[in-house]
Amino acid sequence: MQPFVYEMPAHRVIFAPGSIARLPEEVQRLGATRAVVIAMPTEKRFADEAHARLGDMSAGVYAGVVAQHVPVEMLKDARAHAEKVGADCYVVIGGGSTVGVGKGLALETGLPIVAVPTTYAGSEMTPIYGITEGGIKKTGRSHKVLPKSVIYDVNLTLSLPPHISGPSGMNAMAHCVEGLYAQDTNPIVVLMAAEGMRALARALPVVVREPGDIEPRTDAQYGAWLAGLVLGSAGTAIHHKLCHTLGGSFNLPHAETHTVILPHAMVYNRDAAADAMKIAAEALGVKDAAQGVYDLIVRIGAPTALKDIGMPADGLDRAAELATQNPYWNPRPIERAGLRELLQNAYEGKRPS
């Protein structure tokens, strides 16, 4: 076993169907009296319900979140709104984009966040934040942005359509996979990652077939919670770095990019992280982990090829170039030729051999 440092982010998790009813109690526990409820326009109905539940403790709804990567102009707008209504707490209801706005605000003001995630992105479990200014996304880690309380209410995920559920679940799967071989992984992270993979692999095919079925949805949310914990507790490697590059420089959609790249990043690391791949294969119940992930993606009807999610063919060389800059840790050293091959296979959507 490799030596390790064990540090788990501390926060409170309420995991139960109908647990949104406990939102007022969670806000009260933080000593807050004026919570602003933050959401995307598409999830405003959840925000309005939360506002009604909070009664006198609500400072109203801000439904101006725009998808992905927290543009600084929107953050300024959200902050101005929160200050105008005298907010002393942020209740964020939605996917990673919405949680990201709460994090950006908490970073600046130090006010607490109560998060109610409605996708499988896992951001609510991590101290990682990202803010985009002038087309450049800056990311960092701060315990200030970690939600104080997280409410996982499966009922709020039932309306997620299959084309969002599948890639979002694979985004969670990617956190688990990289947690298995991260430089600073530890035995608890490995346990959580393997259990997260098992839960996601058994749940996602049913979730996309029966989106309104509570049991597989609960299982998927359980896997996503574990995946978020893994991402928040251990570092990442080539997979997340590549997805970050493709999202930032080619504006590709977040969860879909994670979905397409994952099996190919696993092939890249297959020999250098052989023990991790063995654990992954066992968790998925397959012989080869990379092939197992690819087959799962096909089974849930999620995208397999970069060319289908907006990647231009003439951008592959630049992507390989960008991903080799700023050296970062990976089980297998980062080589331009290997990355270029990975990207070509991902572009075409080839099943790993």
* Smallest separation (angstroms) from ligand NAD to the CB of 299: 20
Contact call for residue 169 and ligand NAD (CB under 6 A): no
Q: Residue 206 or residue 286: which is nearer to ligand NAD going by CB?
A: 206
Q: Which of 13, 67, 85, 305: binder of ligand NAD (CB under 6 A)?
A: 67
Q: Which of 35, 58, 62, 94: binder of ligand NAD (CB under 6 A)?
A: 94
Q: Residue 244 or residue 281: which is nearer to ligand NAD going by CB?
A: 244
Contact call for residue 153 and ligand NAD (CB under 6 A): no
Determine the Cα–Cα distance for residues 240 and 237; give it in Å rounded to an integer.
Answer: 6
Determine the Cα–Cα distance for residues 172 and 180; give it in Å rounded to an integer.
Answer: 13
Q: Which of 92, 128, 182, 201: binder of ligand NAD (CB under 6 A)?
A: 128
Q: Which of 19, 36, 43, 44: binder of ligand NAD (CB under 6 A)?
A: 43
Q: Are 172 and 223 in contact (CB under 8 A)?
A: yes
Q: Specify the amino acid at residue 198.
A: R
Expressed in percent and rounded to 5, the helix, strand and coil fractions of the chain are 60, 10, 30
Q: Which stretch binds ligand NAD (CB under 6 A): 90-98, 261-269, 273-281, 317-325?
A: 90-98
Q: What is the DSSP string of 242-291?
A: HHHHHHHHH---HHHHHHHHHHHHHHHHTTTTHHHHHHHHHHHTSSSHHH
Strand partners, 13: 150
Tell me the CA distances in angstroms from 140 to 144, 145, 157, 279, 338, one per residue in order.
Answer: 11, 10, 28, 30, 28
Contact call for residue 165 and ligand NAD (CB under 6 A): no
Pick out residues in 230-269 that bind ligand NAD (CB under 6 A). 231, 254-255
Strand partners, 92: 38, 115
H-helix or E-strand spanning residue 149: strand 149-152
Q: Is the Cα torsion angle 295, 296, 302, 308 positive or negative in sign?
A: negative
Q: Which of 20, 37, 58, 97: binder of ligand NAD (CB under 6 A)?
A: 97
Contact call for residue 132 and ligand NAD (CB under 6 A): no
Q: Which of 38, 61, 89, 126: binder of ligand NAD (CB under 6 A)?
A: 126
Contact call for residue 221 and ligand NAD (CB under 6 A): no
Burial class (CB in 10 A: 0-12, 13-18, 19+), 301: middle
Query: Which residue, judged by CB position, is nearest to ligand NAD in the bound state?
Result: 96
Q: Are 142 and 127 in contact (CB under 8 A)?
A: yes
Determine the Cα–Cα distance for residues 227 and 335; give it in Å rounded to an integer.
Answer: 28
* Smallest separation (angstroms) from ligand NAD to the CB of 125: 7
Q: Draw the binding track, 178-217, toward ligand NAD (x: CB under 6 A; -: no contact).
A: ----------------------------------------
Q: Which stretch binds ligand NAD (CB under 6 A): 74-82, 154-162, 183-191, 307-315?
A: 154-162
* Smallest separation (angstroms) from ligand NAD to the CB of 123: 3
Contact call for residue 74 and ligand NAD (CB under 6 A): no
Q: Which of 256, 231, 229 is nearest to 243 (CA)?
A: 256
**Which one-letter DSSP state was computed for residue 31?**
T
Q: Give the footprint of ligand NAD on this chain (CB under 6 A).
A: 40, 42-43, 67-69, 94-98, 100, 118-119, 121-123, 126, 128, 130, 156-157, 159-160, 164, 168, 171, 231, 254-255
